[in-house]
Amino acid sequence: METYMTLVLTDSYLIGAQVLAWSIKDSGSKKHLSVLVTKKTLSKSTLITLNEIYDEVISVEPIYSKDIDKLSLFDRLDLHTSLTKIHIWAQEKFQKIVYLDADAFCIKNVDELFNLDTDFAAIPDISWPDIFNSGVFVTKPNISIYNSLINLAKKNISYDGGDQGLLNYYFSKWHRLPFIYNVVLSFSYQYLPIYNQFKSEISIVHFAGTKKPWILNKHSTNYKPYNELIEKWESILRKHTKNQNLAKILFSKEQFFKTKETNNNLILKKNVFKNETSCELSTQKISFNNETNFTAENLKQQNLPSISPKTAFLNHINYKNKWNEPFDSNKLSFKPLYPLPMPENIKKEMEKYTKDKDTEMGKIFPFSWNKKSTTTRVFLDDEPQKKEIDVSKYEKTPTSKI
């Protein structure tokens, strides 16, 4: 048996998995649909919903990444359970699996991927095309591959700390598929003209990263490719969501903050004796008191940190302004810079000017302080000045006749 398979590890990805299944069915595919789930991290309502839309829900144990430093490099600690994807190769009852992440969806029928005769086929990653993106791939389950991946996961050899680095390490020789089977959005200046040229050929869209279509919408950005593909994703949701109130719930702030809170509650516990790092999720219920209208009576009963921002100023009612505190030079975060000393040559000139200014008031500019020197150099080709002869002494005086 062949199957389309996805993976759901948190409740926030439920709506993504729903749209993925709907998109496959809308494309005309009659293939089996399966989903791997971790019951430890999912609510009962999520499991019930997945059972309604998928042909088979397979429960597996979460596999946690211990390489937290690498996950922190691209600020995705939420991917610390992505190694759970290794369980795909343990599902030997399936002859072939076309795997898609729950944040992907199909625009066209892609059943032709099942015709590939290869152990592993994937699509180049948009950031580094020499490696593949692990969001969409075709593979054949094999328990020996599963055991090898489990052993490699313990050695922390993944370049990103997650499943993509691990799978690229193991499947170094992989069958390359066209990019249209895993179109990841990019805001690169080169992306828009290429998207306009080939968008009619796109078969699978993958919303990799933190910008998920169930968190944002088509009006969240001013970027044409993102807006158009978000609209396609939302159109599938609208088509299969008859109750409009349900659609509003799925796009509510609660779903967004639930995802954010789950990521923020990632606790890293260091085992000093075994020198190992393990990850666990601390579950915490989210309070949405900011959606409630409070009255004067119940404000007294509320815990101030949990009330809405409109009344949060009560926390700081006795706050003293910093600018009203007395000045303390010891608390300065910087030291004032004093002017540099005057250079000696300038200092001497100024002293000379001060000494002579009373006697030489007419000499304002520095270049007039010194006496002008006389010219002593004479060039050979200069013509000597002609001296004028005083002829008056040669004038004749009248004489008397004899």
- pLDDT recorded at residue 157: 77
In a domain, 307, yes or no: no
- The count of structural domains within the chain is 1
In a domain, 50, yes or no: yes
In a domain, 38, yes or no: yes
In a domain, 208, yes or no: yes
- pLDDT recorded at residue 226: 85
- pLDDT recorded at residue 367: 60
- pLDDT recorded at residue 360: 53
In a domain, 154, yes or no: yes
Please, are residues 105 and 88 in contact by the beta-carbon 8 Å criterion?
Answer: no
- pLDDT recorded at residue 8: 96
pTM: 0.62
What does the block give as tokens for 304?
């101030």
CATH number of the domain within which 144 lies: 3.90.550.10
- pLDDT recorded at residue 1: 94
- Which residues of the chain are under the pLDDT cut of 70? 67-80, 189, 217-221, 243-340, 353-402
- 140 CB-near residues (< 8 Å, 6+ apart): 95, 96, 97, 119, 120
What does the block give as tokens for 187?
């805001």
Range of the domain at 246: 2-252
In a domain, 375, yes or no: no
What does the block give as tokens for 142?
């094999």
In a domain, 257, yes or no: no
In a domain, 115, yes or no: yes
- pLDDT recorded at residue 364: 59
- 36 CB-near residues (< 8 Å, 6+ apart): 5, 6, 7, 8, 58, 59, 60, 84, 85, 87, 88
